[in-house]
Chain A
Amino acid sequence: MSQLLSEFNRPELLQIVALTLRVTGAALLLATALGVPVGAFLGLVRFRGQRLITLSLYTGMGLPPVVVGLFVYLALSRSGPLGALGWLFTPAAMIVAQAIIAFPLVAGLTMSAVAGVDHAMRQQVFALGASRWQGAWTVLLEARVGVTAAIVAAFGGIISEVGAVMLVGGNIEGQTRVLTTAIVLYTRQGDFAMAMALGVTLIAVAFGANVLLLRLQGRLRDQ
């Protein structure tokens, strides 16, 4: 136990946690910025081909992260279409991969939340004088608890993900090593105390972030 506690004092731990939060935070922000409007649109509007898009989103929600990592790897590799960016084995590549994993979760669950708002509510806000944009915004706000749940689910999905970040980040010490990839490395090296310390830290970070998001959700619900 004392050996486990002493692992928390290792200087690289803080660096790994900081990078994990930076990568996951940026990916979540990106996925939220794109996924919430897309999900809201899909939940509000009916058009031809919508079922296909919905089906694609639902399939995307179950995409194996390692497959996403593979696609991003191929796209960013030197001979890939985005190779010129030079992002492979950098945090930017990890952010892109995690954002791709999170996007269908945010968009799909936002769509369900928005579509779940009573259709009569749209008529009511329309009758109260809301423009189309104001009406859409109001419906999105009505679905805010579900939208927050979508963001929480996406956060949980990407912070614990290892396959994609390992492939596109490369687990380079001090540069692209995050909590999950570090756990894999230290376990392989037989440094179980450090792996355990990282595991406990990962759970604590995930728990803390979820507490924050759920407090926000509770506050939104009470409004």
Chain B
Amino acid sequence: MTTDATLYRLESIQHRYAERIVLDIERLDIRRGETLAVIGPSGSGKSTLLRLLQFLERPTAGRLWFDGRAIEAEPPLDVRRRVTTVFQRPLVLSRSVRANLTYGLRVRGVKERPREIDHLLVALGLAHLSHTPARTLSGGETQRVSFGRALAFNPDVLLLDEPTANLDPRNVRLVEELIRERQSQGVTVVLATHQIFQARRLAHRAALLLDGQIVEVAPTAQLTDHPADPRTRAFLTGDMIY
């Protein structure tokens, strides 16, 4: 069982693609309302971890708990709808920017609140592109649409997979401000990134993932300034060869 403060619990989780083990986590708790940064090199299993947390894939072995419920089969729709992901490679629907932003509301049968969507468009710097076909946007604009689409229906959990990878510094700041706004509203955020400084700016705790295994989990400043594990130190200083 999980405590009230724990939203996700991963116990002896192992995930394989064919015979290859891509994730092997003995124990990881994600607390309600916290922002956890999952850092690690490319291919370390960050995106796979997010897919498990989004219930897109079932772990090959082990137990995943969400809000006190053991997730064994596909969870009910109302549970699944509490969580959303902004993917590393954002794909937008062949519709207008606005229609992309309201997609999550429409599938939930929630009436669109035009002022909230307008506010989101302005906050993302997309107001002038509201009626533009989303497929015609630049990479950075597409990423912001993808981000806004996830915020529009106020999820309880935001899973962010390199959410600012395609953005210039101004838009990185803009997106980070929106993440902070959601943090203040109690949204739980899991941020997969290899940007240490972004993890420091946003996350309460950070976990280093290497070859599918959690090496160290600690408050972000502690993990980055005083890492306990030599592999963490090697990763942070860029001395790690992988």
Which residues of A pack against B, CB within 8 Å?
A: 118, 120-121, 123-131, 134, 138, 141-142, 144, 221-223
Contacts and interface: CB of A to CB of B under 8 A. Distances in A.
Interface of B: 51, 54, 56, 77, 80-81, 83-85, 87, 89-91, 93-96, 103-104, 107-108, 133, 149-150, 153, 159
Contacts, number: 57
Given A129-B81, A131-B107, 9 more contacts: A120-B89, A123-B51, A125-B107, A127-B85, A128-B84, A128-B149, A129-B107, A141-B93, A223-B94
Given A125-B103, A128-B103, A129-B80, A223 B96 contact: yes
A183 to B, nearest CB: 41
A121 B107 contact: no
Given A120-B91, A142-B94, A127 B56 contact: yes
A120 B87 contact: yes
A129 B93 contact: no
Contacts of B80: 126, 129
A124 B153 CA distance: 15
28 contacts: A118-B91, A120-B89, A123-B51, A123-B56, A124-B85, A124-B90, A125-B93, A125-B107, A126-B80, A127-B56, A127-B87, A128-B84, A128-B103, A128-B107, A128-B149, A128-B153, A129-B81, A129-B84, A129-B107, A130-B107, A134-B107, A138-B93, A138-B103, A142-B93, A144-B94, A223-B95, A223-B96, A223-B133
A139 to B, nearest CB: 10
List of 7 A-B pairs having minimum Cβ-Cβ separation, nearest first: A129-B81, A127-B85, A128-B104, A130-B107, A134-B107, A121-B91, A129-B107
Contacts of B159: 127
Nearest to A123: B56
Contact of B153 (A121, A129, A138): A129
A163 to B, nearest CB: 39
Nearest to A131: B77
A128 B150 contact: yes
A126 B85 CA distance: 10
A126 B84 CA distance: 9
A120 B89 CA distance: 9
Contacts of A125: 93, 103, 107
A124 B91 contact: yes
A126 B54 CA distance: 9
A223 B94 CA distance: 6
Contact of B108 (A121, A129, A222): A129
B87 A129 contact: no
Nearest to A118: B91
Contacts of B107: 125, 128-131, 134
A124 B89 CA distance: 10
Contacts of B149: 128
A115 to B, nearest CB: 16
Nearest to A133: B107
Contacts of B56: 123, 126-127
Contacts of B104: 128-129
Contacts of B87: 120, 123-124, 127
A141 B106 CA distance: 15
B220 to A, nearest CB: 25
Contacts of A142: 93-94
A121 B81 CA distance: 17
Nearest to B92: A124
A40 B159 CA distance: 30
